[in-house]
Amino acid sequence: MTEVRGPVTMNDVARVAGVSNATVSRVVNGHYGVSARTVEKVRAAIDQLGYESSLVATSLRRSRTKVLGLVTHSFESYTVEVLKGVMEALSGTGLDLIVYANSDTYGARSAGWEQRHVTRLAGTLTDGCIIVTPWSDVKSNAPVVAIDPVRDSMLPSVTADNLAGAVTAVDHLLELGHKRIGFIAGRSSLAAAWAREEGYRQALTRAGISIDPSLIGRGDFHRETAIAPARALLGSQDRPTAIFAASDGMALMVLEVAREFGLDVPGDLSIIGFDNVPESALSKPALTTIDQSMHRLGFEAARLLQGLVYGNSGGTRQVLVPTQLIVRESTAPPPK
Amino acid sequence: MTEVRGPVTMNDVARVAGVSNATVSRVVNGHYGVSARTVEKVRAAIDQLGYESSLVATSLRRSRTKVLGLVTHSFESYTVEVLKGVMEALSGTGLDLIVYANSDTYGARSAGWEQRHVTRLAGTLTDGCIIVTPWSDVKSNAPVVAIDPVRDSMLPSVTADNLAGAVTAVDHLLELGHKRIGFIAGRSSLAAAWAREEGYRQALTRAGISIDPSLIGRGDFHRETAIAPARALLGSQDRPTAIFAASDGMALMVLEVAREFGLDVPGDLSIIGFDNVPESALSKPALTTIDQSMHRLGFEAARLLQGLVYGNSGGTRQVLVPTQLIVRESTAPPPK
DNA sequence: GATGTAATCGTTATCGGTTACGTTTACGGC
DNA sequence: GCCGTAAACGTAACCGATAACGATTACATC
């Protein structure tokens, strides 16, 4: 048992086995041109020293590392769903995943974090990256897939079918008999926000209802940003009988504002959200919403990235994941 | 605008700025010995090319990388809680986090995955590692902290105060008047399982109740493994009036088995779990359990690792996080 | 036994940075 | 004008691995 200082390197193995480091490399990678007896010696030395090849050195020298990266600016509750989906797609492929998070931007909103991390990783360590809910566009020479990209991004991306989902949400309200339907929009720089608003407009227009700008409030997807527009909407003399919020977080805030105004949900006001976060099932009344499977988003993103990196890159570059209406307790026909 | 093929390297910057790469390195790292004018030139070249230093090359050469690693074999729902805690501890420290997950072991139980990943990372890329719920012990020359380690591990570790928590759980049942209290143990190789069983024994002994081996069933923390022992316990002629399961997952299974036997919970049978996973609040009846804050576990693990890597390593190496009794609907006085 | 070919293995350049060390330049004091 | 010192910068070795290439050996063939 030799006591080693520092990590065991390939040279250590080579010295113990009495061969050159090139031979060790060949054995480790199962390359052709090593006699059975030498393989045996090297294997023994590897076992004796407990050698594992350095991921860093390997990826510096090699072009392909068999490792994919995922960059996120914080760990939200949906992040683990995305991760599960990614891992499921990667399972059995021999590909590993590295998740990179940077503590400086944690909580704070420092633009450009994705760019910094992607270039630091994609240059060498990883063969490609998935970016979860980016805040700005990213340039990279290695393949990058975005989940919920910014508007007009040229990146290959995976998103829920936000437009269809929003149409479904508004159709649900229309079918219940609502005519005056308010909308609280999300962060306008994101493609998802744009698509959800567009769905709202299309559904109304198709139903022969003209768009009333005073019924549209603006948030940025975060809960708190819905408070002011919700108050404006519910405080007006001709208030809507239903509100469609572009995220569950904002919808839950509308619920609170409704309580503040003494309105019964869904008696006086119907509320529908988007995302189907876990909390939406627990609110009172439970929130009707549009489900987008983050698990599925992660799965598809990983598949797409794999194709871009290892496979025939000539394929679809934009994947749309279907959404689903989840009817709970917060929607009902309008008051007479 | 120069069109670049491949990643932008330090040499590219050096060429554009008309200096050597050593000077670029000095500027990037803010080292002494570069004139203000040269700094300006280099900065300009960096901005022009959009250069970011390669994490891989840097960590290969440097001993310290300012990056910590976290190794996990899969992403469970509690993993995100741990990650949040870790990120909170790292916030503002300038330290980054890399989470490594390996797809081959996903779902499967291939022993030794921690060892492989830790040696691959801790050799160079990271300054230290956190291992979440390891399955075997790990050797490493770089600092390693384990969350919920295996029994008799020599690693610095962070765990919930499982012994005190188990005592609290059993005391809760004793105070309700239970005398025959069953126990379903967890995977015996883990320290947490041992401590929870020990707590069960201590609480009973302290109450003057002798341990009845027939009241102890054996699972491995996973839900399904509780089915057989639960059936054995509830099917016996002198069945217990309460069961303490060493994990919420197993407790929820006991709940199902009780239903199978036509037993009312908590009327005929009280059930208490351990962990306080989100699902435990949603079951019917909602599960009484012992809360262990995974967030806190992650936070403390990151703090501990930081001390080991960068600070005065001479400190505590075993951190115990307090637990808390959460009384819900699954426990009540025993039937008369 | 000489020669050719293939199998086996070592030497060395290289990936993109960091840093010890050496060299050049600037500038002050005499 | 000469010399000394320090600041400024370049050269090259190096981190641990890979792979192109060259060198050596083994074995078959004539």
Q: Is A247 helix (H, G, I), strand (E, B) or coil?
A: coil
pLDDT-based confidence at residue B2 (cuts at 50, 70, 90): very low
B160 within 8 A of B199, measured Cβ to Cβ = no
Task: Tell me whether residues A56 and B6 touch, CB distance under 8 A.
Answer: no
Q: At what angle do helices B10-17 and B36-49 cross, to 10 degrees?
A: 120
Name, in order, each residue with C-beta under 8 angstroms of A324's C-beta and a sequence gap of 6 or more: A290, A291
Partner residues linked to A188 by β-bridges? none
Give yes or no for A103 touching B (CB within 8 A): yes
Question: If DSSP states are collapsed to H, E and C, what string results for A120-169?
Answer: HHHCCCCCEEEEECCCCCCCCCCCEEEECCECCCCCCEEEECHHHHHHHH
Q: Is A57 helix (H, G, I), strand (E, B) or coil?
A: helix
Find where tokens 């025993």 sit: B334
Amino acid at A127: D
pLDDT-based confidence at residue B315 (cuts at 50, 70, 90): low
A234 within 8 A of A269, measured Cβ to Cβ = yes
B56, B103, B124 ranked by CB distance to A87: nearest = B103
pLDDT reported for residue A151: 83
C-alpha dihedral (B177, B183, B189, B193), degrees to nearest 10: -30
Cis before B266 (ω within 30)? yes
pLDDT reported for residue A174: 97
pLDDT reported for residue A330: 97
pLDDT reported for residue A17: 92
Radius of gyration from C-alpha coordinates of chain B: 26
Q: Which residues of B touch A55 (CB under 8 A)?
A: 120-121, 123-125
B164-to-A186, B150, B292 alpha-carbon distances in Å: 47, 18, 11
Q: Which residues of A touch B56 (CB under 8 A)?
A: 56, 59-60, 123-125
pLDDT-based confidence at residue B107 (cuts at 50, 70, 90): very low
Radius of gyration from C-alpha coordinates of chain A: 26
Would you give the DSSP letter of residue A190?
B
A28-to-A32, A90, A94, A309 alpha-carbon distances in Å: 11, 23, 16, 24
Q: Is A102 helix (H, G, I), strand (E, B) or coil?
A: strand
pLDDT reported for residue A224: 93
Task: Tell me whether residues B120 and A53 touch, CB distance under 8 A.
Answer: yes
Burial of B111 per CB tally in 10 Å (0-12, 13-18, 19+) = exposed
Model confidence over B154-175: pLDDT tens digits? 889 999 999 999 999 999 999 9
Rounded to the nearest 5 degrees, what angle is found at the Cα of A140, between the Cα atoms of A139 and A146? 75
Give yes or no for A48 touching B (CB within 8 A): no
B145 within 8 A of B157, measured Cβ to Cβ = yes
**Tokens in use for A17?**
């086995």
Spanning CA of B119 to C1' of D16, the rounded length in angstroms is 14
B52, B99, B116 ranked by CB distance to A116: nearest = B52
Buried b (16+ CB within 10 A) or exposed e, B139-163: ebebbbbbbbbbeebebbbbbbbbb
Q: How far apart are alpha carbons B31 and B33 in whole angstroms?
A: 7
Q: What percentage of chain B exceeds 90 in pLDDT?
A: 60
Task: Tell me whether residues A103 and B125 touch, CB distance under 8 A.
Answer: no
Burial of A305 per CB tally in 10 Å (0-12, 13-18, 19+) = buried
B279-to-B79, B135, B264 alpha-carbon distances in Å: 15, 24, 20
Would you give the DSSP letter of residue A281?
G
Task: Tell me whether residues B52 and A125 touch, CB distance under 8 A.
Answer: no
Q: How far apart are alpha carbons B278 and B77 in whole angstroms?
A: 8
Strand C, nucleotides covered by protein (CB < 7 Å): 7-12, 14-20
- In the Cβ-directed half-sphere of B80, how many Cα atoms lie within 13 Å? 16
pLDDT reported for residue A114: 79
Spanning CA of B17 to C1' of D10, the rounded length in angstroms is 14
pLDDT-based confidence at residue B334 (cuts at 50, 70, 90): very high
B5, B7, B100 ranked by CB distance to A98: nearest = B100
Amino acid at B112: G
pLDDT reported for residue A33: 82
Q: Report the candidate in B225, B277, B232, B226 with the shortest Cα–Cα distance to residue B255.
A: B226
Tens digits of pLDDT across chain A (336 residues)? 344 456 788 999 999 999 999 999 999 988 888 888 999 999 999 999 888 888 888 888 887 888 899 988 778 878 888 999 999 999 888 888 889 887 665 444 556 777 888 888 876 788 889 998 777 788 787 889 999 888 888 889 999 999 999 999 999 999 999 999 999 999 988 899 999 999 999 999 999 999 999 999 999 998 999 999 999 999 999 999 999 999 999 999 999 999 999 999 999 999 999 999 888 988 889 999 999 999 999 999 999 999 888 876 666 788 999 999 999 999 999 998
Near strand D (CB < 7 A), which residues? A 6-7, 9-11, 21-22, 25, 28-29, 31, 51, 53-54, 57-58, 60-62; B 18-23, 32-35, 37-38, 57, 60-61, 123-124
A215 within 8 A of A156, measured Cβ to Cβ = no
pLDDT reported for residue A4: 44
Give yes or no for A44 touching B (CB within 8 A): no
Would you give the DSSP letter of residue A280?
G
Q: Report the candidate in A274, A259, A260 with the shortest Cα–Cα distance to residue A173.
A: A274
For nucleotide C18, the protein residue with its alpha carbon nearest to C1' is B61
In this predicted structure, the answer to whether residue B288 has a pLDDT above a threshold of 90 is yes
In this predicted structure, the answer to whether residue B33 has a pLDDT above a threshold of 70 is yes
Q: Report the candidate in B94, B49, B100 with the shortest Cα–Cα distance to residue B73.
A: B100
Rounded to the nearest 5 degrees, what angle is found at the Cα of B79, between the Cα atoms of B73 and B81? 165
Give yes or no for A11 touching B (CB within 8 A): no
Q: Which residues of A touch B61 (CB under 8 A)?
A: none
At residue A50, φ and ψ (nearest 5 deg) are 70, 40
Spanning CA of A39 to C1' of D27, the rounded length in angstroms is 21
Model confidence over B206-261: pLDDT tens digits? 999 999 999 999 999 999 999 999 999 999 999 999 999 999 999 999 999 999 99
**Tokens in use for A329?**
């307790």
Q: Is A326 helix (H, G, I), strand (E, B) or coil?
A: strand
Mutate to test the interface with A, among B11, B63, B76, B99 (most CBs of A within 10 A): B99
For nucleotide D20, the protein residue with its alpha carbon nearest to C1' is A22
**Tokens in use for A230?**
């919700």
In the predicted model, what is the mean pLDDT of residues B292-306? 94
Task: Tell me whether residues A123 and B7 touch, CB distance under 8 A.
Answer: yes
Partner residues linked to B290 by β-bridges? B325
B198 against B279, higher pLDDT: B198
Q: Is A68 helix (H, G, I), strand (E, B) or coil?
A: strand
B50 within 8 A of B109, measured Cβ to Cβ = no
Q: Are strands B96-102 and A96-102 parallel, antiparallel or unpaired?
A: antiparallel
Listing DSSP states for B280-327 in one string gives GGTSSSPPBEEE--HHHHHHHHHHHHHHHHHS---S-SEEEE--EEE-
Spanning CA of B25 to C1' of C26, the rounded length in angstroms is 23
Partner residues linked to B147 by β-bridges? B132, B158
Q: Report the candidate in B78, B66, B74, B93 with the shortest Cα–Cα distance to residue B297.
A: B78
Q: State chain B's mean pLDDT as an integer.
A: 89
Listing DSSP states for B183-237 in one string gives EEE--TTBHHHHHHHHHHHHHHHHTT----GGGEEE--SSGGGGHHHHHHHHHST
Chain A, 268 to 307: residues with Cβ < 8 Å from chain B are 278
Q: How far apart are alpha carbons A189 and B71 in whole angstroms?
A: 35
At residue B125, φ and ψ (nearest 5 deg) are -60, -45
